[in-house]
Chains A and B, each alone.
Chain A
Amino acid sequence: MLETPDGRRSRTIELIAEILEVQVDTVRPPQRLREDLGLDSLQSLELLSLLGEELRLELPMEEALELETVEDACAFVERTVAANA
């Protein structure tokens, strides 16, 4: 599942839903992590740290701090996979 971009994208959204304890279909790519999903900047970091562990990626913290939306998180994962390939 994590070998393809679609699989990673689905898992990223799934994981965000799991951490927020909400239904996965309520998490949509344009939503903002803070304003729409209610995460603060530190909770966003914890979420991305879990994502990194799950996807076995070394995610740089400086970039992680700048993510604003679910879509940003998905794109961030893809960029990191490409950079590590």
Chain B
Amino acid sequence: MPDADALPLVEAQLRRFLRREVDAGSLEAGGRISDAMLAKVAELGLFGLSIPERWGGLELGLAGCCSVVTQLARSDRSLATTVGLHNGLGVRPLIDRGGDALRARWLPRLAAGEVIASFAATEAGAGSDLTRAATLATLDGDHVVVEGEKHFVTNGGFAGLFTILARTPDRGGARGQALVLVPRDTPGVTVGPEEHKLGLRASSTVTVRFDGVRVPADHVLGEPGAGASDALAALEWGRTLMAAGCVGTAVAATDAALEHVRTRRQFGRPLLSFPSVRQHVAAMLRESFAMQALVMAAGRAERRGDELSHLATAAKIVCSEGAFDLCDRAIQLHGGLGYLEGSGVARMLRDARVTRIFEGANEVLLARLGTALYAAESSAERRRLHEHDGPLAARFDDVDAHLEVALIRAREIHGLAGVRAQTLLQAFARADIALAAASACLASRSPERALAHQAAEDQLDRAERWIVAAAGAPERSARDALLVEPWVERRLDASPSSEVRA
């Protein structure tokens, strides 16, 4: 069933469910999401959003899944994370790379929510650098033996099926990896206790050990040795769905702030009548518009079968940072009340914080994207998402051209050594994703044209600032990378209790 048919039905049921049965404060206070709540989510079909109809799912595309995750996140971010992880990283590798027998065995149960999916990649020694994953998947006859420990496993507490990233010493060379499907009830799987987290407290995050776990060889998804690129493909869905959750948080924080500034009076006037308050509100609306536009652009790219990696990365970075900024502004607009848990915005800020870290720390993603730009690998990907012309489209082309010139100059000055100048690369990447966000705003089909244009202008301003920053970045980068500043070295050598006096 195409999105256009299934989505309105799902969303109507979802709105009723969220209104009647979901209270984020109570969910958090109750600890991990209850089995009863998971059963209700399953009844709504939310665990089958991305699973093809032939296996009992709704077969929504990425755009439709994002829309549902945004709705969920407006009410509760833990629930949105659980559903988003299941439908993205949890099931996409099996859908895209599993054999027919494996898919027929698991996907109907996953779609029905009888089994919840999890994805396990991070380890104690492999966070942002997943190439260092030490978990092994070794061929033994017609089985694979898995040995290792995975950390920060989202959904792990209630998951029935794990997709894990493991090294394959038999295939793919020194860094060969594979995604391996491991059912929870396989002997040797041990699920640890729930982690105590800053936010997303009703979601599940655990450590999982795999001690001599034997699964049939067909549980290796895709080509053994190609796990790293398979994981990256799954992350395109994962990052976009996470960005969609950030949009939900942003909209909820903005709604809460608007409600407060409309009703709260100080100095004899409603807060909304003060220019500085209006400025905050307008900035929040523009930022959340840009976030939504980027997520929708990624959804359209997936529907067309276009390259998704760049937009998914841009959406992840822009939306995770935007959501945190908007929650912070919402707390500021609430004044002291915002600092109290009862306001709800404090929880939103806590929930949003981790999104700048998980599924790729933003700094690492920016450095990678910057390297690709510097190596002239992705300049074509940055090109217009919007088709129309006009003054702002012309300005987009100007800023785009400035970035290209700045990149060419940097390559001339720094040559191959520039691929290790992180500050420089990140500045270029930030300019690039701001351009992507600007273009997504201009490509938006929203009837709010003035808002779309102003949101695009914000992003173009941002891109220009980062291009200027990049021009001054190499010196700073060298200084930071080499820690040549004597005061930095002194501080690093000092004991933790030593003081710095101004």
A interface residues with partner B (beta carbon < 8 Å)? 20-22, 26, 31, 35-42, 45-46, 48-50, 52-53, 58-61, 64-65
What are 18 A-B pairs with beta-carbon distances under 8 A?
A20-B174, A31-B173, A36-B172, A37-B173, A38-B177, A38-B228, A42-B375, A42-B377, A42-B419, A45-B371, A46-B419, A49-B416, A49-B417, A49-B418, A52-B415, A52-B416, A61-B375, A61-B416
Q: Does B209 contact A (CB under 8 A)?
A: no
Cβ contact within 8 Å between B173 and A35 = yes
- Tell me the nearest residue of chain B to A47, going by C-beta: B419
Contact A42 B415 (CB under 8 A): no
Q: Total interface residues on B, using CB and 8 Å?
A: 21
A37-B174, A41-B377, A42-B372 given; 6 more Cβ-contact pairs under 8 Å: A20-B174, A21-B132, A37-B173, A49-B419, A58-B416, A59-B415
Tell me if B420 counts as interface (CB < 8 A to partner A). Answer: yes
Is B56 in the interface zone, CB < 8 Å from A? no
Q: Which residues of B contact A61 (CB under 8 A)?
A: 375, 411, 415-416, 419
Contact mask for chain B residues 205-226; partner A; CB cutoff 8 A; 1 contact, 0 none: 0000000000000000000000
Complex formed: what's the CA distance from A31 to B131 in Å?
A: 18
Q: Are A58 and B174 closer than 8 Å at their CB atoms? A: no
Q: Are A45 and B375 in contact (CB under 8 A)?
A: yes
Q: Given A22-B174, A61-B375, do A42 and B420 touch, yes or no (CB 8 Å)?
A: no
B45 within 8 A of A: no
Report yes or no: A60 in contact with B173, Cβ–Cβ below 8 A: no
Is B176's beta carbon under 8 Å from chain A? yes
B175 within 8 A of A: yes
Instruction: Give the complex CA separation of A37 and B176 in angstroms.
Output: 8
Given the complex, which residues of A lie within 8 Å of B371, measured CB to CB?
A: 42, 45-46
Q: Which 7 A-B pairs have the closest CB atoms?
A: A38-B175, A36-B173, A22-B174, A42-B371, A45-B419, A49-B416, A59-B416
Query: Within the complex, which residue of B131, B375, B418 is in contact with A38, where a contact is CB–CB below 8 Å?
Result: B131
Chain B: minimal CB distance from A24 (Å) = 12
CB–CB B420/A46 < 8 A: yes
Q: Can you name the residue of chain B whose Cβ is closest to the Cβ of A36?
A: B173
Chain B residue contacts of A45, Cβ below 8 A = 371, 375, 416, 419
Annotate B166-180 by CB proximity to A: 1 below 8 A, 0 otherwise: 000000111111000
Q: Is B350 an interface residue (CB 8 A)?
A: no
Chain A nearest Cβ from B364, distance in angstroms:
12
Q: Are B176 and A38 in contact (CB under 8 A)?
A: yes
A48 to B177, CA, bound (A): 23
B175 touches A37 (CB 8 A): yes
**B41–chain A nearest beta-carbon distance, Å:** 37
Contact of B368 among A21, A42, A60 (CB under 8 A): A42
Residues of B within 8 A of A42 (CB): 368, 371-372, 375, 377, 419
With A45-B371, A61-B375, A65-B375 already in contact, the answer to whether A38 and B174 are too (CB < 8 A) is yes
* B367 nearest in chain A by CB position: A42
Contact partners of B377 in chain A: CB under 8 A: 41-42
Shortest Cβ distance from A39 into B: residue: B175
How far apart are the CA atoms of A58 and B131 in the complex, in Å? 28
Query: Contact at A49–B420, with CB atoms within 8 Å?
Result: yes
Which residues on B sit within 8 Å (CB–CB) of A60? 415-416
Give the residue of A38, A49, A58 whose beta carbon is less than 8 angstroms from that of B172.
A38
The distance from the CB of A47 to the nearest CB of chain B, in whole angstroms, is: 10
Known: A20-B175, A38-B174. A50 touches B415 (CB 8 A): no
Q: In whole angstroms, what is the CA distance A20 to B420 when docked?
A: 16
Give Cα A83 to B176, complex, Å: 36
What does the 1/0 interface line of B365-392 toward A look like (CB < 8 Å)? 0001001100101000000000000000
Among A20, A42, A52, A53, chain B packs the most CB atoms within 10 A around the CB of A42
Task: Tell me the smallest distance from the CB of B58 to a CB of chain A, in Å.
Answer: 34
